[in-house]
Structures are given as C-alpha cells and as structure tokens.
C-alpha cells in the first residue's frame, strides 16, 4: 500500500503561481541615451513618453520543466512511503516470580513418581517446574532460591531456556540448611520493583517452617498485598514431622489468604503437576496486543527525479545557447 506521511504539504503546490500573480514584479533600472528635443521627436512620432519595461518570456518547455521540478519537490516533502502488511505483537502483561526452597530437607527422597518409584524432593520439583516454565511463553519470570538466606538466582527474563538453565544449577543446601521463608517473600517483592505490569504473581514452594528470616512471613505477605502481589503457596514437606523439617501449613495458608492467592499441598510428583495446572486456571494469562505496519520511505525517488530533470534542462539550455552563438 502506498501513502504519504505528510499529505498536507500538497497545499503548497499553488504557491509559485500565487507569488507570480500577487507579488509585485521585480524592477531594474537601466541606463538610457538622452537626446535633445526628445519631446518634439515624440510628438513627431505620435507616441506618448512613459516608463517602459521589458519582461523576459520563458519558453513553454522551461515553464513545464520548472513546474515538474516543483511538483517532484513537493511530493518528496510529503514523504511518500510504502506500507507493509500489518504485524501483530503480543506482549504478556504478567510477571511471575518463582521462590524455591532448597534447604537441607529438600534432599529427602519421599516423593513418588507416576510409576511409584521414590524420588528426591528437589528433583521432582525441578522436573515439574521445567514443564511449567516452558509453558509460560511470553511471560517474564524470575527465580529466587532460599535456605538460610534468600538469593535471586535469575532476574526477570523472557528467555525461558536460560531460566531453566539456572534452575538446573540449583542444588540442595547451596543457600544454607535452614528456611528463610519471610526473607524470600520480601526479596520477591523487591524484585517486582522493576515490573511495570499490573498482574504480579509469586509462587512460593517450601517444605519447612520459617526459622531464620529477619522478616516474618506474615509481615512479608501484608507488604505483598499492599504492592498488588498475589502469592500462591505450595507445601511439599511432611506436616507430621518435627522441628524445622515440619512444613508449616498454617503459615502457607495465611500467606496465600492475605494476598488473594491460594494454598496447595503436594505429596507426590503428580499432585505437584496438578497444582501448577490449577494455578494456571486461576490466573489466565493477560496479553497486551500491539500492531503496526512497517514503513519504507520512498522520498528519495522524487528527489532523484527532480535532480535528473534539472540536470537535463540545464544541459539542454547550454547546448541551445552554444548553437545560437555559433550561428
């Protein structure tokens, strides 16, 4: 499709004609010969003396050439352009933070696979998370790991392959043996400071009670609610265990309730996969659609044609003058 980006420029087309018709002509004085008895000579010739002027006339070819050059210059200033086919870009309006507990208790082999074989907790979580991450095409995701301390393993990124790479590098105990659940939520909230979208989702997976946070999980959840962050909590530990190895289900439920999220408990790989499916159903992806048409400027074509016309006209006039001089 062909169009002009500034079609209003064509309003300047009649400008030279208006100047020619309305502007006063240019006057130039020239020397003359004074003769005696001028009045008597004029009377004898039967003419009345008055101011005279000579207006040079252009050939029709010259006028047509000037008009064509002006038209081409106006066309170039109107910025002709070629419009391509519309392109639609979908951009996710959701940011997701994954907060993963990698304390020492995640090394226990109490998860069961679909065929009933025992499996390490963290290994089972990784397998399900890889699939969950792969299905988040278009979303920005970040990964936080926590044990005794919480760390940002991967900041917000749309490169989900690299996010899975960071997940594969995660090992049990690399952040310490304890569980800093409150600090992990607080770090997730700070991670959202760089987010400009309205839908902010945090998924917290833990298998133990908070024992080493500087900020309690309840206070962190209250701040998250103020910031518009919805937290979904997943418990994967043993609620009947003792001490730090006992997953605090009440705390996880409270965190989810305070932020408008939900709490889930998964004791095997299949239940964990169902949990992430349920989270998807509760938080359908929001997409911002942007469309545009690529534009290719064509202004150089009329400019080049105007220059070529000018050169041909000047060359033609020069040849004609030389022939007249030779004659």
pLDDT tens profile 118-175: 888 888 888 888 888 888 777 888 999 998 999 999 999 888 889 989 998 999 888 8
Are 121 and 205 in contact, with CB atoms under 8 Å apart?
no
Are 176 and 144 in contact, with CB atoms under 8 Å apart?
no
CATH homologous superfamily of 89-289 equals von Willebrand factor, type A domain (3.40.50.410)
**Helical axes 249-259 vs 217-226, angle rounded to 10°:** 10
Say whether pLDDT at 32 is over 90. Answer: no
The CA–CA distances, whole Å, from 97 to 7, 94, 110, 259 equal: 49, 10, 26, 14
pLDDT > 70 in the chain, percent: 88
Q: What's the mean pLDDT in 178-191?
A: 91
Q: Which of these, 262, 246, 264, lies nearest to 207 by C-alpha position? A: 246
What residues does each domain of the chain span?
2-26+55-85+297-326, 89-289
pTM for the structure as a whole: 0.62
Q: Which of these, 201, 133, 124, 191, lies nearest to 161 by C-alpha position? A: 133
Q: How confident is the model at residue 54 (pLDDT cuts 50, 70, 90)?
A: low
The whole-angstrom separation of Cα 142 and Cα 99 is 9
Over the stretch 143-158, which tens digit does the pLDDT of each residue have? 999 989 999 999 998 8
Half-sphere exposure at residue 174, Cβ-oriented, CA atoms within 13 angstroms: 13
**CB-count exposure of residue 325 (10 Å: 0-12, 13-18, 19+):** exposed
């Amino acid at each position: 499709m062909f169009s002009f980006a500034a079609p209003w420029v064509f309003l300047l087309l009649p400008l030279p004609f208006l100047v020619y018709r309305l502007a006063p002509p240019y006057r130039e004085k020239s020397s003359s010969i004074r003769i005696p008895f001028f009045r008597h000579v004029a009377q004898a010739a039967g003419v009345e003396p008055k101011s005279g002027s000579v207006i040079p006339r252009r050939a029709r070819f010259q006028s047509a050439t000037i008009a064509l050059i002006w038209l081409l210059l106006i066309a170039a200033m109107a910025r002709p352009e070629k419009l391509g086919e519309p392109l639609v870009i979908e951009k996710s309006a959701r940011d997701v933070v994954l907060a993963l507990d990698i304390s020492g208790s995640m090394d226990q082999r109490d998860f069961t696979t679909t065929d009933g074989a025992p499996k390490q907790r963290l290994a089972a979580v990784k397998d399900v998370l890889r699939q969950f991450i792969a299905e988040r095409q278009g979303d920005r995701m970040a990964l936080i790991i926590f044990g005794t301390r919480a760390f940002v393993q991967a900041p917000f990124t749309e490169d989900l392959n690299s996010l899975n790479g960071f997940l594969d590098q995660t090992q049990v105990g690399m952040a310490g043996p304890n569980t800093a659940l409150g600090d992990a939520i607080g770090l997730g909230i700070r991670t959202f400071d760089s987010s400009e979208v309205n839908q902010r989702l945090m998924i917290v997976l833990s298998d133990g009670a908070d024992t080493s946070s500087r900020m309690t999980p309840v206070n962190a959840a209250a701040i998250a609610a103020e910031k518009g962050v919805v937290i979904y909590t997943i418990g994967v530990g043993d609620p009947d265990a003792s001490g730090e190895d006992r997953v605090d289900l009440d705390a996880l439920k409270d965190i989810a309730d305070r932020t408008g999220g939900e709490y889930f408990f998964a004791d095997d790989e299949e239940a964990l996969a169902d949990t992430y499916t349920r989270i998807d159903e509760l938080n359908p992806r929001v997409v911002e659609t942007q469309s545009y048409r690529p534009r290719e400027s064509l202004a150089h074509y009329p400019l080049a044609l105007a220059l070529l016309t000018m050169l041909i006209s000047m060359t033609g006039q020069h040849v004609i003058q030389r022939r007249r001089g030779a004659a």
